[in-house]
Structure 1
Amino acid sequence: MTYLFPKSFPRYQGQKNSTMTAALLACTVTVLSGCASTLPDQDSAQHTDNTPLMSGLTAVTSPTTTNEWYQNGQQQADRRQQQAANTGMAKNVVLVIGDGMGITSLTSGRIYSGQQLGMDGEEYHLSFESLPYSALIKTYNTDLQTPDSAGTMTALMTGTKTRAGVIAINADAERSNCASSHGTELHTLFNDARQAGKATGVVTTTRLTHATPAVTYAHSPERNWEADSLLPADAIANGCQDIAAQLISSDLDIALGGGLGMFVPEADGGVRADGRHLANEWQQQAGHHYVSTRQQLLEADLSDGEWLGLFAESHLPYVEERDENVPSLTDMTKAAVKRLSNNPQGFSLVIEAGRIDHAHHAGNGYRALKETEELHQTVDWLINNLDLSNTLLLVTADHSHTLTLAGYPTRGNPINGVVKTNNEHGQPLSEPSRLEDGQTYTSMNYRNGPGAVSVPRPDITEQEALSKDYLQQALVPLESETHGGEDVAVYAVGPFAHLLGGTMEQHWIYHLMRYAMTGEAPEN
């Protein structure tokens, strides 16, 4: 089997030449025996130098179709050809956030998850990476080149870019200035959902009052005002309310995560100075229910009512540090979908794997990989249990981190291990690679953070590198590793997901969700 490829694509002019260009493009993927029939008559279609068209083509033998990589590529091409745009209305919208899950987190996360299954890892796919539509998303805030979670989540949930550190208010307000924030509150996706008669919910592995989940129900000029004791006197005097108190008075149908300390008074081990026990206040409202352990959540009758679950004083523990009382991200997601699916009009749900971000800030690649793996497993459940014909499912990150992968490790090298490379013949070496200083190094490293080391660098053993507490080496010493400023990925399936493509502004994601859910263009 042979294919025709033009040696060059000369320039043409006029309508006839547009036809010729299209024919040449079609010819590059047409079998030789049928290619000539797709071309315009040579008498009426010549190169600008009067050379006959067919003399500009050369025959190339096709690759063998028994090669597994070739077959895999063909299968992917076939699946893409069968892909059809879904222009129906979205009964449900599910937005999944891997907080801090940048491109390098995706690459290292997929390799790690694959290696846990006995694979080399590089060929593996995280569940959401197989969704049919994707794009790159720009993440900057209006005042920061490298953003924070409050501003980026506000963009995703409101369709409006804003400052770093503010919760669902626009950039006209100053951060931490309560008086300036009045009248700057932004309409959110959950407002749209409730106006359409849909249920709403949020699930997170962080405190429910933390920046990303807070944007779904609160408005504040300061992300750190999670409890009343954290508000300055002038903010209280000017009528600003803490984030936990706003959750208690919200219209959420279900909210599951951590952060109990923000809801209870100091006398009960919390941080509230006003003496209010907001968890009790929630339960005292008609139809409201409260759970605090995994078992209570699994046994709950989620057929109706409003549900609050607080499973830790602060953030939920990292995956491998949870006991039987703490639900997984998948546990909470299943419960939320069960409750929200009882609404005949559908629902809007936000799910956050928030501790990916925290592990990166700590310079701890292993825990970031484990949290990413949990998100992968949760989305796999969503893909297999939601009706994706009427559910718009999007998976993205709010921002990136400074994690890097480098060093030419051999195929299948443990992603968080010491680098072993190949010899000059492409065969893997048994001994770790060493840099000019004579020391070993790892694939995963950070641009900055607590893992920074001075010269001379220490030698790293494989056992040390694979430890769950190992901090990857960093270039610039900082107490906490920073966010990264590069684009992040978004993956999607469902109604109007086909509108994703190219490199897009982050706040546009809201407009896609709103249009898919309501069929209406956003208000000015």
Structure 2
Amino acid sequence: MARRRTPWATVWIILATAAVAPSQHHKPEDRHHWWNLGQNELVAALNVRDNWNVAKNVVFFLGDGLGITANTAARIFKGQKLGRNGEEGYLAWERFPNAALLKTYNVDKQVPDSAATATAFLCGVKGNFYTLGVDQSVTKGNCSASKNPAFRVTSILHWAQEAGKDTGIVTNTRITHATPAAAYAHTAHRDWECDSALGEEGAGCKDIADQLVTDLPGKNIKVILGGGRQALGASRGASLNSTCFRKDGRNLTREWLNDKLSRGHSARYVTTLGEMEKVRAHDTDYLLGLFDDSHMPYEVDRLVGSSGSPSLRDMTIKALRLLKKSEKGFFLLVEGGRIDHALHDNIPHRAMEEIVAMDAAVAAALREVDLEETLLVVSADHSHVMTINGYPDRGNDILGITGELSKVDGLPYTTLMFTNGPGYNYTVDRYQVRRHDPRLVNTKHIDYRSQAAVPTPAMEETHGGEDVALWAIGPMAHLFHRTHEQNYVAHAMAYSACIGPSQNRCGRPSHATFTKRPSPTRKLPVHSPRTAALSTAAGSGTAVQLPGALPKFPTLSPVLQQLLNDNEQKIVTSLGLESVKSFSATEDVRQLLGRNVLLPHGG
């Protein structure tokens, strides 16, 4: 039987994980290790080529609160869960070929909230604190201003629908929460998730859940997976203070289903992992999955099994398999939203588990998509005030104690701490303030609250104001290359896919190279003299026949770069993803392929 050719995305995953997999011993690396590592990284960087393809698909992963400090801690945590030191490893997105920094401030705030930041990276316009899908003309709570069409802004999800693409949202928060809501809603207050939350201030405005089900673009989103049944009037459990109750008596999940069926579509509403797994992509047009009354459980609390709720990875895979049916492509937003909640409560262990769960979702997405036609972006909306401090030894448990004693109070301290939050724990002895001794508790416990300097109530640790990182791979990923304003993200993604503001002005320059032959031609509008060389005739909208048989998208391993064309299938099938340790060393490739191979730099 003929063997199916391995998708390029799968090969890239193997390269990304194999070439950088840390060794499982704890002895210090010698100078040759660092020299070879540096040389290999240099050669890989010199081999990078920009991918100018038009992105048929765009997948945007958003780690809510995934600041650089949290990202670093999670990288170490991930490695230590595997029995390694941790520092030398990587999260899946950290091996993407392009990275940038984003400035996260709001129009009116130096340190942002998730609603205004989501408006920036999804709609391309910065707005005010706590507002969604509106520009700077609308301030927090100004209902009348938010109803003015001139002050509303549309999202990349909306632009994708206008271009005929399918769209989806996946989150483990409420589907009406700040990040997902920015994709479809326009409101002066992010908390107006259901009608009872509007109060006098929001009287006359439409709540977020209502907008999702009855307005564009919400009603045309093909896949919606997350929490938040209560805001849609479909509660299945006891009342919770953190949720939003509908007082109008409407069940918006029933309205959603009736709307799809009345338009002749096949649609499913599911509430458990088992129900979601039974949904077949080929005969389902629309899927709504709400797996909790409020936010979905933390990953460590999630009930595993058919009656439980899906993981972020499960939902991502299901969404991609439904959306990949679209001939014109798709846009998918995936939010790891509970990272933020754990950090707000000064509980780093839960936050680390959430980041690792998002890491698994990104890795799964890479296996599902073709990176030659899919732009995949990973970023954060804002940071938190957690810090990695002290001088812990290499490989010290990231959730543990540094080993240093304070020269003031003689007590040790944990590696992860917060500048504010509910983790404060102080007593006063006469006129001296004393903090608790972390040696007396289990700092690795899933609910241990790290110490904080400034006290706040539970769940009220604040965001941080520093820049956040962004990683990208796929068509036009090189547009992310320096420190950008956060609203730039929407513009770059739209240009990659030639949608929204770039629908008629996304021509590629004459030096552009393409790795995927269009079928049969791809329309690329020409909008400047620089791009005229691409066209077969002058004028906007000229049909451009992109060259075929060009080198595939560059890998991270120079050794594999030389051998990939002849040995791609052999590499993939010989060892498999889990057993591969390194393709960056000559000897490893010799052993695998049985032939003499030299690194390009002669090493």
Equivalent position to 2:354, from 349, 371, 381? 371
Kindly state the Cα deviation for residue 235 of structure 1 after the two structures are TM-superposed: 2.9
2:372 aligns with 389
1:298 aligns with 277
Equivalent position to 1:315, from 295, 306, 327? 295
Matched AA of 1:295: G
Matched AA of 1:280: R
2:309 aligns with 326
> Could you list the per-position Cα deviations for residues 401-440 of structure 1 after superposition, in whole angstroms to 9, with x for gaps in the alignment?
001001100000000101126xxxxxxxxxxx45431212
Call closer, same or farther: CA 1:90–1:266 in 2, change over 3 Å: closer
Structure 1: 5+ residue runs without aligned partners? 1-63, 422-432
CA distance in 1, matches of 2:293, 2:142: 28
> Could you list the per-position Cα deviations for residues 34-68 of structure 1 after superposition, in whole angstroms to 9, with x for gaps in the alignment?
xxxxxxxxxxxxxxxxxxxxxxxxxxxxxx99711
So what's the TM-score if we normalise by structure 2?
0.72
2:526 aligns with none
Is 1:495–2:495 an aligned residue pair?
no
Matched AA of 1:283: L
1:279 aligns with 253
Kindly state the Cα deviation for residue 251 of structure 1 after the two structures are TM-superposed: 1.2
CA distance in 1, matches of 2:143, 2:485: 28
Kindly state the Cα deviation for residue 520 of structure 1 after the two structures are TM-superposed: 7.0
Matched AA of 1:260: R
CA distance in 2, matches of 1:274, 1:520: 36
2:124 aligns with 159
CA distance in 2, matches of 1:125, 1:335: 25
Call closer, same or farther: CA 1:230–1:407 in 2, change over 3 Å: same
CA distance in 1, matches of 2:299, 2:290: 16
1:203 aligns with 170
Kindly state the Cα deviation for residue 218 of structure 1 after the two structures are TM-superposed: 1.2
CA distance in 2, matches of 1:519, 1:242: 28
CA distance in 2, matches of 1:402, 1:371: 17
1:356 aligns with 339
CA distance in 2, matches of 1:460, 1:339: 48
Aligned positions of 1:62-461 closer than 5 A: 67-181=32-146, 182-183=148-149, 184-233=151-200, 235-236=202-203, 238=204, 240-249=205-214, 250-264=219-233, 271-285=245-259, 286=261, 287=265, 288-303=267-282, 304-324=284-304, 325-420=308-403, 433-454=405-426, 455-461=433-439
Counterpart contact for 2:64–2:335, Cα < 8 Å = yes
Call closer, same or farther: CA 1:456–1:246 in 2, change over 3 Å: same
Counterpart contact for 2:168–2:222, Cα < 8 Å = yes
Find the residue that maps to 2:435 and give its secondary structure.
Answer: coil
CA distance in 2, matches of 1:269, 1:466: 32
Runs of 4 or more consecutive aligned structure 1 residues displaced over 6 Å after TM superposition: 265-268
Kindly state the Cα deviation for residue 463 of structure 1 after the two structures are TM-superposed: 5.4
CA distance in 2, matches of 1:481, 1:166: 20
1:470 aligns with 448
1:42 aligns with none
CA distance in 2, matches of 1:166, 1:511: 20
1:35 aligns with none
Counterpart contact for 1:330–1:378, Cα < 8 Å = yes
Find the residue that maps to 1:75 and give its secondary structure.
Answer: helix
CA distance in 2, matches of 1:82, 1:326: 43
CA-based RMSD of the aligned residues comes to 1.9
Counterpart contact for 2:133–2:153, Cα < 8 Å = yes
> Could you list the per-position Cα deviations for residues 231-269 of structure 1 after superposition, in whole angstroms to 9, with x for gaps in the alignment?
124533x3x211111111221001100011111168986
Is 1:484–2:458 an aligned residue pair?
no
Q: Tell me how many residue pairs correspond in the alignment.
A: 448
CA distance in 2, matches of 1:520, 1:507: 14
Counterpart contact for 1:413–1:420, Cα < 8 Å = no
Matched AA of 1:177: N
Structure 2: 5+ residue runs without aligned partners? 1-28, 240-244, 427-432, 506-603
CA distance in 2, matches of 1:419, 1:356: 23
Counterpart contact for 2:163–2:499, Cα < 8 Å = no
Larger radius of gyration: 1
Counterpart contact for 1:418–1:462, Cα < 8 Å = no
